[in-house]
Amino acid sequence: MRTKLKQNIMRLLIILLIVLSFSTSFANYGIKLAEMPIIPKPFSVVSGKGSFKLSDKSEICLSTSNIEVNKIGAFLREKLRPATGFMLPVVESADQNGKNNIYLVLSQTNSVLGDEGYQLTIGASRIEILANKSAGLFNGVQTLRQLFSEKIESSTHQNDSWIIPAGVIRDFPEYSYRGFMLDVARHFFSVSDVKRYIDLASMYKMNVFHIHLSDDQGWRIEIKKWPELTATGGKSQVGGGTGGFYTQEQYRDIVKYAAARNVMVVPEIDLPGHTNAMLASYAHLNCDTKAKTLYTGTEVGFSAICTSKESTYTFIEDVFKEISEMTPGNYIHIGGDESHVTKLEDYIPFVNRMQGIVAKLGKHVIGWDEIALSDLKANSFVQYWGKAENAVLGVQKGAKVIMSPAMYAYLDMKYDSLTPFGLNWAGYLDVQKSYDWIPESIVPGIKRENILGVEAPIWTESISSMKNIEYMAFPRIVGIAEVGWCSASTRNWKEYKLRLAKQGKRLKVLGVNYYPSTQIAW
Ligand code: ACM
């Protein structure tokens, strides 16, 4: 009798084990589209029945052969290739009936999707990304990447079924400007570092790369008419390293690389303060015509280009002209922050003139919030970072605002007191705080319609390697990407942090040195 009982218990246990293992494998296989941990969260996701399987017979089919769409097809092929080992052909094809293909369809029919939105339909035998503009197709492709297992991000061949669940995603951004800034002046970063940062940020549909090209500690862009800027001003950085600069060819290469990822480059030459590197390069830019010595410390607010000399404006016109010719985007950033040794009565006419120079080049000015003190031109943009009353003044003068509140969006702020580098003058910025803010609720007097978008800057006084940039930027930049993409009413920290935990696997495969915050159950 006792043996019989034992046998029955054993049988029951075995059945239980079989049922359990079936149900977990079913759960893995059966994950629905609406349960996928996509970041930023799409506007709407409807799960369908069944799934799509990518195979070595799949093709990437383009509805239109235009250069932009071709590039997006090639981008998708290259992102899928290393892990799958599939060299998917990119073909122009009106035939919509091929098996297991991915169709990229440009069609100017869906007004809700706007310039950057897309509709991604996954069926058992085909995937279609439909968009009004190529930017929308690109965003659809970035979402599609996240639907495969994280192995898809590997640079080496992986075994996987490459199955994704069926359904329909409709998606478009809340804000048209979703930026990330890198300070390459305090410490210089190589072209390949910059490209990696652009590639990673664009995964999360960020679309503006603001590059801080000049500051007291270094000048980072070749200007043919004024070669000492790089010959002298490019040779220093914080702590006394060798610095560096981008040749015009390298800068154009960065611009092209960014454009292929739906990222516009916004170059910044910081004026009239933060100018020691240029003042060391050319004596005549100083009111006393004495060249400054190179600076490798981290103080701010001590330098000023001479605003009372006509030759200063000739110099600036030349610099902006060359930069503007290399920059297809609409904006030039003129800095304007912390100009503590330029008197207000000199600062205001100076910023007014900068706006005229930039307008003549066919571009719009962006400046840090202090530029709101000037007579803002229509189409000048104020980037709020520190002083709310400046940002409000900018809005009162008719400008739109880019929201970069230091206490929520500065990625060089330490996570907590244990963070080994970074600063804390705007407070500690943990992962939750960097996600859990609402652009239109930050400053009384600045409403949704006054805001162009959001930007996450990273200043590099204390950050000197790409590994450390990644540690400070990730995972916070992922959350700020969602702040820019999703309306506040659709965001929720408790739900987001579950998606972020899963996203961590993807970051790991990509080799991103992210900060493993204990706020996330990685
Ligand atoms: C700034 O952080 N000085 C714009």
Residue with tokens 């990696």: 196
Same domain, 157 and 181: no
Question: What average pLDDT values come out for the chain (522 residues) when binned by 10 residues?
Answer: 59 52 43 97 98 96 92 98 97 80 91 96 97 97 98 98 98 98 98 98 98 98 98 97 97 98 98 98 98 98 98 98 98 98 98 98 98 97 98 98 98 98 98 98 97 98 98 98 98 98 98 98 98
Amino acid 339 reads S
For residue 138, the domain's CATH number is 3.30.379.10
Whole-number Å distance, alpha carbon 271 to ligand 1 midpoint, is 12
Sign of CA dihedral 70, 72, 78, 80: negative
Last residue of one domain, picked from the residues 139, 171, 203:
171
Q: Based on the fold, state whether residues 155 and 182 are members of the same structural domain.
A: no
> What is the model's pLDDT at position 312?
98
Evaluate whether residue 9 is within a structural domain: no
Buried b (16+ CB within 10 A) or exposed e, 462-491: bbbebebbbbbbbbbbbbbbbbbbbeeeeb
Residue 228's closest CA among 289, 278, 291?
278
In angstroms, the CA 18 to CA 12 distance is: 10
Name the residues annotated as catalytic.
338
Indicate whether 71 belongs to any domain: yes
Residue 513's CB is within 10 A of a number of other CB atoms, namely 17
Residue whose tokens read 């200063």 = 312
Rounded Cα–Cα distance for residues 393 and 234 (Å): 36
Respond yes or no on whether the N-terminal peptide bond of residue 420 is cis (omega within 30° of 0): no
Count of domains observed in the chain? 2
- Which of 302, 382, 385, 423 has the most ligand 1 atoms within 8 A of CB, as the residue to mutate? 385
Closest-CA residue to 499 (of 522, 472, 471, 474) = 522
Residues 146 and 193 in one domain: no
Contact 243, 234 (CB under 8 A): yes
Calculate how far, in angstroms, residue 194's C-alpha sits from the geometric centre of ligand 1: 20
Report the nearest-CA residue for atom 2 of ligand 1: 385
Q: 269 with 149, same domain? A: no
Tell me, yes or no, whether 310 and 448 share the same domain: yes
- Ligand 1 mean position to 385 CA, how many Å? 6
> Does residue 399 contact residue 368 with C-beta atoms inside 8 Å?
no
Cβ atoms of 378 and 362 closer than 8 Å? no
Q: Are residues 262 and 167 in the same domain?
A: no
Phi, psi values for residue 364, rounded to 5°: -105, 150
- Say if residues 88 and 100 touch (Cβ distance below 8 Å): no
Shared-domain flag, residues 188 and 149: no
User: What are the φ and ψ backbone dihedral angles of 458, each rounded to 5 degrees?
Assistant: -130, 115
Q: Is the CB of 385 under 6 A from ligand 1?
A: yes
List of residues 6+ apart from 307 with CB closer than 8 A: 272, 342, 346, 347, 349, 350
Q: Which residues pair with 173 in a beta bridge?
A: none
Please report, for the domain that includes residue 376, its CATH number.
3.20.20.80
Whether 288 and 405 map to the same domain: the answer is: yes
Q: What is the largest CA-CA distance in the chain?
A: 107
Together in a domain, 296 and 417 = yes
In a domain, 7, yes or no: no
- Give a yes or no: residue 198 inside a domain: yes
For residue 518, tell me if it sits in a domain: no
- Is the same domain home to 478 and 444? yes
- Give the model's pLDDT for residue 25: 36
Do 122 and 219 sit in the same domain of this protein? no
- For residue 457, the ligand 1 atom closest to its alpha carbon is 2
Q: Which of 118, 152, 171 is the last residue of a domain?
A: 171
What's the count of helices (H) and strands (E) in the chain, helices before strands?
A: 15, 17
Same domain, 366 and 234: yes
Helix axis angle for 191-203 and 248-259, nearest 10°, is 10
Among 111, 140, 171, the domain boundary falls at 171
pLDDT of residue 93: 82
CA of 211 to the centre of ligand 1 (A): 13
Structural domain range at position 406:
177-493+501-509
The pLDDT assigned to 22 comes to: 40
In our burial notation (b when 16+ CB lie closer than 10 A, e otherwise), range 82-108 reads ebbebebebeebeeeebebbbbbbbee
153 within domain boundaries: yes
* Residue of 181, 269, 338, 383 with the most ligand 1 atoms within 8 Å of its CB, for mutation: 338
pLDDT given for residue 30 in this prediction: 75
Q: Does ligand 1 come within 6 angstroms of the Cβ of 268? A: no
- Whether 160 is in a domain gets the answer yes
